[in-house]
Amino acid sequence: MLHVWKGKYFALWLVVGLILQGCHGNVPDNAGSVVSTPADAASIARGEYLANAADCISCHSVPGKGAFSGGYAIDTPYGPIYGPNITPDKETGIGHYTRDDLYRVLHDGRRPDGSPLYPAMPYTSYQGMSRADSDAIYDYLMSRPAIRHANIPSGMHFPYNIRSVMFVWQWLFMPSADETLPDGSSAEWRRGAYLANALAHCTECHTPRTMTGALDTAARFKGAMIGRYEAPDITPAALAQRGWTERDLASLLATGIAPQGSAYADMFPAVHNSTRYLTREDTASLVRYLGGPAGLPAPTHITPVNIPQVALQRGWHSYASLCASCHGAQGEGRPHVAPALQGNASLRLTSPNNLLVAMLDGVEAQHISTLENMQAMPGMPNFVSDQEVADLANVLRTQWGGVPSQVSAATVRKLR
């Protein structure tokens, strides 16, 4: 899954890092760890499952270049960074890694030579991963074909390209493993916590970040902006407010589709490459954890919100002209084409941002499985005015989402 490390106040601790630049030579060099023992088939199979759950492939692969061979670009405000080759190739990949080395990467955010990783690699979450799971992932990765594919150097701008600065960041802002694995009341709930906070690292996108770019663990799962989209608030109350049930959440994670809509934007590859491979039990655990110790509250029913008749007519007019062909005259959706809009969770978000961005930018086709697709949604034609887009958003949100909505033309203009 795409991870975004987008703290706006990197400079605050960067200064400290530059001062401590001379400390680089004093940092323990973790190279030269123990020789790995051969893997067995069971460990490799388990590692494959765990690597899927951890969604390694999304950030370490480019379509057509070979799985795990790296090259995926992650844009950060500090410059692009590219997922490295993690195939067993000894020169360009991780063929020289030991199990200890991989565990150190995942747990400490350190390369074998001791240098720190940028937190675009979600080690702040993976540090909660068990040693056994790390080793199984190692066994799986080492069983893969070695692909010779040179890594692309990160394009971080000065002074962010001074990697040793990350020592300071890790020292100051990396949460402890204890914080990332809160206690639960049952084994199922604890398993869900492990998946959400460590292995499947839901928290990386759905938790806001502090000024330093670190996860704001006090606001875990309260939602965060990822590029132009908001990774929604997935705390129990917010999920219930948007109509989610445990069953529907499980459906979304397992298939990408639920009555509340389909996975799109960065959530689609997360489902496609990761969550759909979870066992039924793990999906249930994850959903149970997200629902909170007391269970997910009953979903909020949709009650249309009154808006002026003129605005209503304008909005429905735009809907008929622009949306109804695929989403249906009554917002019922069309199987294998477009999700229903009646009760769609994206309409019910507190912020209209995701709806507006989807309307303006369009949504890429979602090839979910052999028999299931959602077709590409075209972006809003330029000749449709900002006011028309605003009217459309307001009608959809108030009538089919049941939330107040006062989107203005100015808001739409800013997002164009």
Interface contacts to other proteins, rule CB under 8 A: 316-317, 319-322, 324-326, 329-330, 334, 337-338, 375-376, 378, 381-384
Residue 122 CB contacts under 8 Å (≥ 6 apart), including other chains: 3, 201, 204
Helix, strand or coil for residue 224?
Answer: strand
Alpha-carbon span 84 to 151, nearest angstrom? 5
DSSP β-bridge partners for residue 82 = 73
78 versus 400: smaller Cβ distance to other proteins: 400
Contact indicator for 222, 233 with CB cutoff of 8 Å = yes
Q: Which is nearer to other proteins, 205 or 392 (CB)?
A: 392
Shortest Cβ 72–other proteins spacing (Å): 23
If you write DSSP's letter for every residue of 265-319 in order, what string do you get?
A: TTHHHHHHHTGGGS-HHHHHHHHHHHT-TT-PPPPPPP-PPP--HHHHHHHHHHH
Instruction: Quote the distance between the C-alpha of residue 28 and its chain's center.
Output: 32
List the alpha helices (DSSP H) in 35-93: 41-53, 56-59
Least distance CB 367 / other proteins (angstroms): 13
The residue among 102 and 368 lying less far from other proteins, judged by its C-beta, is 368
Q: Would you say 18 or 337 has its CB closer to other proteins? A: 337
Distances (CA, A) of 163 to 50, 71, 106, 413: 29, 19, 17, 38
250 vs 395, beta carbon nearer other proteins: 395
Taking the complex as a whole, how short is the minimal distance between the CB of residue 379 and other proteins, in angstroms? Answer: 12
> Residue 269 Cβ, how far from other proteins at the closest point, in Å?
21
Nearer to other proteins, 370 or 382 (CB): 382
Within 10 A of 200 (CB to CB), how many other CB atoms are there?
A: 25
For other proteins, the closer CB: 321 or 406: 321
Min dist CB 403 to other proteins, Å, is 18
CA distance 173 to 216: 10
| Residue 415 C-beta: closest distance to other proteins, Å | 20
CA pair distance 341, 287, nearest whole angstrom: 23
Nearer to other proteins, 305 or 324 (CB): 324
CB of 266 to other proteins, least distance (A): 24
Q: What angle do CA 133, 137, 140 make, to 5 degrees?
A: 140
**Residue 380: CB minimum distance to other proteins, A:** 11
- CA-based torsion, 205, 53, 145, 366: positive or negative: negative
